[in-house]
Amino acid sequence: MSQQVNTRVEDTSPVVGSSLWQDAWQRLKKNKLAMLGVVILLIIILVSTFGPLLSSYSYDQINLDRNSEPPSWEHWFGTDQLGRDILVRTLVGGRISLMVGIIATAVSFVIGVTYGAISGYFGGYIDELMMRIVDIIYSLPYLFLVIVLLAFFTKSIFMLFFILGGVSWLTMARIVRGQVLSIKNQEFIEAARAVGVETPMIIFRHVIPNTLGPVIVYTTLTIPSAMLSEAFLSFLGLGVQPPLASWGTMVNDGVEAIAVYPWQLIFPGLLMAVTLFSLNFLGDGLRDALDPQMRKD
């Protein structure tokens, strides 16, 4: 630990900061599982984005004569209760679920990490105030927020993103703050302070990179829970409305038909699971790649 700490404190030129990410990328490239995750994720993103354009069905094309058919050459994933093609619906649904995942990640990364790091680093009354604000936001009854939003604004997918984004950074902020409390009194931070590094620089270049392990792990955990929250909010009427679907709402509907038409649950569920597993491997790879203690090798 002490070795890399010293090098980082001595060179405060920008070169060191950027090399953190370059080093990480070099190490990530060597991690086969993580790279497999990246490739699968890219494929899923591409197929969800462009796949529906290539299909001869559309996600809302109802054909009641052919409802709940098992997978066949015409409908690879089978059809749902209204005879809609499940493959196209799953792909279109993937766009929404991926979007939800990206938004939740972005918000919890940008707001949650910065907020938590500032709160933990400054400590004292600033910490007190910032964490109590988090408590207040956390305590509000979201069900009512949803009802009120639905009453005053037109239903839209942006409302869903707004709510999910608003909640997703709170626990992240608390976790980062907890880490920072223990990091900020370590020698290398003291050393950085002693040589006169400015506070924002200390926070962003020295403190935050050392919290990235738990941050990345928690992010890979945020994505599935955001996708499931989306299904719940859509169920309440906020967010994805029929005929549009997301993986979450399709799984939700599929559970009811599990005994009779299992493919209505299996395919969207499977695609969601593959995405989450890939994210998970990528997350672990990133965690290892960014681990400051592993930088020696």
Partner 1 sequence: MLKLIIRRLLGMIPVLFIIITLTFFLIRLAPGNPFANDKAFPEEVIQALNKQYGLDKPLHIQYFNYITELAKGNLGPSTRYAGKTVNEMIAEHLPTSLALGLIAYGFALILGVSIGIISSLRQNSSLDYLSMAIAMFGISIPSFVLGPLLVIVFSLTLFWLPPARWGEPKHLILPALTLSAIYIAYIARLTRSGMLEVLRADYIRTARAKGLTESVVVLRHALRGGIIPVVSFTGPALTFLLAGTIVVEKIFVIPGLGRIFIEAANSRDYFVVMGLTLFVSILLVIMNLLVDIVIGLLDPRISYK
DSSP H or E run through 158: helix 157-183
96 binds partner 1 (CB under 8 A): no
For residue 239 the two structure tokens come to 């967010």
User: Is residue 54 a contact partner of residue 76, using CB atoms and an 8 Å limit?
Assistant: no
Site for partner 1 in 166-225 (CB under 8 A): 170-171, 174-175, 177-179, 181-182, 185-186, 213-214, 216-218, 220-221, 224-225
All residues at 6 or more sequence positions from 47 whose CB lies less than 8 Å from its CB, including other chains: 91, 94
Nearest one of 269, 286, 235 to 24, comparing CA atoms: 286
Of residues 75 and 271, the one with the C-beta less far from partner 1? 271
Of residues 71 and 123, the one with the C-beta less far from partner 1? 123
Of residues 75 and 107, the one with the C-beta less far from partner 1? 107
Spell out, one character per residue from 42 to 81, where the chain touches partner 1: x when CB under 8 A holds, - when not. ----------------------------------------
Encode burial over 159-186: b for 16+ CB neighbours within 10 A, e otherwise.
bbbbbbbebbbbbbbbbbbebbeebbee
The packing angle between helices 247-256 and 263-290, to 10°, is: 140
Q: Least distance in Å: CB of 205 to partner 1? A: 18
Nearest one of 123, 233, 121, 75 to 168, comparing CA atoms: 233
Answer for which of 79, 252, 268, 271 binds partner 1 (CB under 8 A) is 252
251 binds partner 1 (CB under 8 A): yes
Nearest one of 125, 116, 132, 133 to 183, comparing CA atoms: 116
Region of 50-58, 92-100, 101-109, 289-297 interacting with partner 1 (CB under 8 A) = 289-297
Answer for which of 53, 54, 64, 151 binds partner 1 (CB under 8 A) is 151
User: Is residue 180 a contact partner of residue 211, using CB atoms and an 8 Å limit?
Assistant: yes
154 binds partner 1 (CB under 8 A): no
Sites of contact with partner 1 (CB under 8 A): 1-2, 123-124, 127-128, 131-132, 135-136, 138-141, 143-145, 147-148, 151-152, 170-171, 174-175, 177-179, 181-182, 185-186, 213-214, 216-218, 220-221, 224-225, 228, 231, 251-252, 255, 272-273, 276-277, 280, 284, 287, 291, 293-294
